[in-house]
Amino acid sequence: MTAVAFRPAAMARRWLLVGAIVTAACQIAISARIPTSYTKDYWFTLTAGWSAALFVAWEGRSAYVGAARPWGWALGGGLAFAGTVVLARAVEYRAALRLLPLLSGIGLLVAGPGFRGAWHHRRELFLLALPLVDPLPRALRAPLEPTLVSWTTAWALAINRMLEHPMTREGNVLRTASGTLNVLGECSGMLAISRLLVLAALVVALFPTNAWQKVALFASTFVLGFVSNALRIALLAFDFMLGENAKFDYWHVGLGSTIFAIASTAVAGLVWWIMLRRHAREVSLVPSLRRSS
């Protein structure tokens, strides 16, 4: 009979992963019930962040370092539990709720490898911070929205003029024969850009990329988000010009707005796939070049 060695580090890893799964499941289930307009985005980002963080933690579970003392288990576990309780007691969406996944993740690290292990698990913390950018904080949106609204209005006018639709512009107002269409700050496209930022962050965290590709991925979110939103505003202006109120509502707040979101995501996925495939091809060429030399 052979004795099985007891490995406390392996046991600690197992319990930490179980705690992370339970915390993630609770926060995902609880966040789905918050009744506000941002609930869908918040729930999607929180779910994506926790799912990706758990995947990264599982893949890198051998990189677990250190072990917390009893006070670390109490402090870290209490922090993760408190974050879940605060989310459970929320009756409406607030910006502060976006901090809870990250705080819970920090608590789990304190309960596991401790503060010194945070650097080894920085990708997990990065993924749990994704709710902070969807939507972007007001402090970041406020300086960008006036410029984006102005550019969006100009692009919408240019697209309709190119199609020979009679339309003029005064500031952020499009004038047609049916009346005036005011392009507001909510029409800046920041929400579309925020959603693509989350997806780009997932790509960066889960796939090998070099520095230039990281920059290109995040820069492309602004370009693709802006262009898709400008096309939608141009279509709204056209429907408004024709007096098609049903179609206007369809593309503005109905299923049509979701179609544009899906289309921009699909285009982004294709562009990013080409970028990652090119990087993988360049990496695979390096060994063959070394052998030939």
Q: In the chain, where are the structural domains located?
A: 8-133, 138-292
pLDDT at residue 289 tops 50: no
List helix spans (H) across 130-189.
Answer: 138-162
What tens digit of pLDDT does each residue of 230-283 get?
999 999 999 998 888 898 899 988 888 889 989 999 999 999 998 888 655 655
Neighbours of 145 (CB within 10 A): 20
- The whole-model pTM stands at 0.81
pLDDT at residue 288 tops 50: no
Beta pairing, strands 179-182 & 173-176: antiparallel
Neighbours of 112 (CB within 10 A): 26
**pLDDT at site 199:** 93
What tens digit of pLDDT does each residue of 140-178 get?
888 889 999 999 999 999 999 999 988 999 999 999 888
87 vs 257: CA distance, rounded Å:
29
Cα–Cα–Cα angle for 110, 208, 130, nearest 5°? 45
**pLDDT at site 216:** 92
Q: Measured between alpha carbons, how far is residue 273 from residues 127, 203, 209, 266 in Å?
A: 20, 10, 12, 10
Q: What is the mean pLDDT of the chain?
A: 83
